[in-house]
Amino acid sequence: MNRSPRLALALLMVALLAPTPSHAMVGGAAADKDGIGRSVVTVIGSRGNFCSGALIAPDIILTAAHCVPKGATYKIVIPGETRLIDVTRIATHPQFNTQAIANSRASADVALLKAAEPLTRSRTIAATASPLTPLQPGNRFTVSGIGVTVRGDGKSGGTVRSASLVATGKPGTLQIRLVDPATGNTSAGLGACTGDSGAPVFENQSGRSVIVGVVSWSTAPNNADGCGGLTGTTPLTLYRAWVIETMKTWSASR
């Protein structure tokens, strides 16, 4: 259904200003408009939530499974534009556990959305891969999302921002916890916040930035509730085959 630009903008602002349990990028710099940030889009739901996603095929968006719960409809918004693009199909990984993510535990927090039209005229397509092994503390990743820069201030979101973070703790194939190397989770630093859920996590592999995971949750410093501490990500290591197979199935059913 077509909507006027004014109505589209109004619906987008409602989504950005509504409270949401998902998390966005605090302190990150505006993403390079000609780089990895061009693959990032906004996912908004009819219940007022908004998340980040990444274009991995002309009409396929990778995001977090907890961003697209059942019982709502979803639209794609290209940052800088006001039109709403319909989502025609949604697939969440069959092993996803909502309660696990709510408790900052590992789960198959991966989902795919099919847009009603190709988005390649406006965005680039990011490739997916598994993180390089061995996974160990200090490994560097880049997170790019559309979340807020000030927690609770929805008006500070909507711009694609990136932050360079490093793995901490015991990173593995189920979950990678990222932190600002300058603050180490002891004081406020770079990290995901409201709206960055589903944001792509990039790693440089052979000189090329590829998506190796998605953002699932965040904390404030010292593991408190909020943003600017830890950024919990779900690596694609165990789920990339599902992503590829789902895309093939959708392509075959056209």
Same domain, yes or no, for 102 and 208?
Answer: no
User: d(Cα 41, Cα 84) in Å, to the nearest integer?
Assistant: 11
CATH number of 78's domain? 2.40.10.10
The domain total for the chain is: 2
Same domain, yes or no, for 90 and 148?
Answer: no
Q: How far is CA 196 from CA 83, 154, 161, 248, in A?
A: 20, 12, 10, 27
Same domain, yes or no, for 17 and 115?
Answer: yes
User: Tens of pLDDT along 101-110?
Assistant: 888 788 999 9
CA 236 to chain centre: 13
Q: How far is CA 113 from CA 18, 98, 158, 168, 204, in A?
A: 22, 18, 19, 30, 25
Same domain, yes or no, for 17 and 121?
Answer: yes
pLDDT, residue 210, reads 95
Asked if residue 78 lies in contact with residue 55, where contact means CB atoms within 8 angstroms, the answer is no
pLDDT surpassing 60 at residue 7: no
Number of H helices, E strands in the chain: 3, 13
Beta strands in 46-147 (DSSP E): 50-57, 60-63, 74-77, 85-92, 111-115, 140-145
Counting Cβ atoms within 10 Å, is residue 9 exposed (0-12), middle (13-18) or buried (19+)?
Answer: middle
CA 126 to chain centre: 13
Query: Model's pTM, two decimal places?
Result: 0.87
Same domain, yes or no, for 146 and 220?
Answer: yes
Same domain, yes or no, for 10 and 100?
Answer: yes
Same domain, yes or no, for 90 and 198?
Answer: no
Q: Which domain holds residue 44?
A: 5-21+39-125+240-252
User: Tens of pLDDT along 109-139?
Assistant: 999 999 999 997 778 899 999 999 999 999 9
Same domain, yes or no, for 81 and 161?
Answer: no
- Note whether residue 30 is domain-resident: no
User: d(Cα 216, Cα 177) in Å, to the nearest integer?
Assistant: 10
User: d(Cα 64, Cα 196) in Å, to the nearest integer?
Assistant: 10
Give the confidence band of 37 by pLDDT, cuts at 50, 70, 90: confident
Q: How far is CA 19 from CA 25, 78, 187, 215, 216, in A?
A: 16, 21, 25, 18, 17
Cβ within 8 Å of residue 114, ≥6 positions away: 59, 60, 61, 87, 88, 89, 90, 250
Choose the weakest-confidence range: 11-15, 36-40, 53-57, 182-186.
11-15
